[in-house]
Amino acid sequence: MAINPDALGFETAEAQSSWTSTDSLLYALGVGAGAADPTGAELEFTTENSHGVEQLALPTMCVVLGTASGAESPLASLGSPNYALMLHGGQQVILHKPLPVAATITATSKIAEIWDKGKAAVVVMEINATDASGDPLFTNRATLFFRGEGGWGGDSGPKADTTPLDGPADHIVSLPTRTDQALLYRLNGDRNPLHSDPTFAAGAGFDKPILHGLCTYGMSGRGLLHAVCDGDPARFKAMEGRFKSPVVPGEQLDLHIWSGAGSTRFRTLVGDRVVLDDGVLIHS
């Protein structure tokens, strides 16, 4: 067992970071905006100079913002777990206000939760960001599973609340991925060769490089934005889901939506394979 349970609560110092209009455009393209699909060209997310169109940022872009890395990351406080056995289990984003297309933010990262699941350790890393005026902008919570790192006798944590979905989906939105989707998405900052290098992917047990889980998450969020929020980022308040299986670039995502007032549930599949489960969108 190499996880350090005393890392619970560790928080980094405040750090500033920024992004530009071009970064917002690149993220939108990375999650499929502008592709030939029922949502149309999405010029408000993919261009900054279209006549009569104001550029907007996709809400899920916050997953690539404000992230500390290396020695600056709170993960450095965990000790020496085997990162080759780590899985990104789930992701939650909370938007306290709509993301601007360009901004400078101040963010902190912390180890918000550590749970002992016996054969694995679960670590929740939380990022909180404020805008230039000091107002809360977004919160990201990434759930990380460290296989083989549990068993120290710690608290196992709360059990997941997975209320069964009621009947068939109210809507299904198909979201095609490009064969080069991962090569485009990686330009947002995640250069893990699992998503680009066939040799590395084969060593990890995959026939070919797989799509970033957060790209699947972002594409699902983009589908929800249009299907539930009429394309208005101000109505998109929070989103969460659990990663179930990988996606190969070129596969089609089918977003199944169970409508609700203020809280909509969803599940993303490839064929009959669930890739993002227990999804919840909070919206106005």
Domain boundaries, given as residue ranges, for the chain: 171-283
What pLDDT score does 264 carry? 97
Q: Taking a C-beta distance cutoff of 8 angstroms, is the pair 19, 31 a contact? A: no
207 is catalytic: no
Neighbours of 166 (CB within 10 A): 7
What stretches in the chain show pLDDT beneath 70?
Answer: 1, 36-40
Characterize the bridge pairing of strands 273-283 and 236-243: antiparallel
136-191, pLDDT tens digit by residue? 999 999 999 999 999 999 999 988 777 788 899 999 999 999 999 999 999 999 99
Phi then psi dihedrals of residue 274, to 5 deg? -80, 130
212 is catalytic: no
282: left (phi over 0), alpha (psi -120 to 50) or beta: beta
Q: Taking a C-beta distance cutoff of 8 angstroms, is the pair 197, 5 a contact? A: no
Neighbours of 6 (CB within 10 A): 12
Q: Which of 23, 116, 195, 212 is catalytic?
A: 195
What pLDDT score does 204 carry? 86
Q: Which of 116, 190, 254, 278 is catalytic?
A: 190
Neighbours of 155 (CB within 10 A): 10
Neighbours of 172 (CB within 10 A): 13
| CATH homologous superfamily for the domain 171-283 | Hotdog Thioesterase (3.10.129.10)
Q: In what order do the strands lie in the sheet with 236-243?
A: 15-19, 103-116, 120-130, 136-147, 86-95, 236-243, 273-283, 263-270, 252-258, 171-176
66 CB-contact burial (10 Å; exposed 0-12 / middle 13-18 / buried 19+): buried
Which has the closest alpha carbon to 28: 54, 66, 49, 57?
Answer: 57
Helices (H), 5-107: 21-30, 43-46
Q: Is 87 helix (H, G, I), strand (E, B) or coil?
A: strand
| CA separation for the pair 248, 148 (Å, rounded) | 27
Q: What are residue 144's DSSP bridge partners?
A: 88, 123
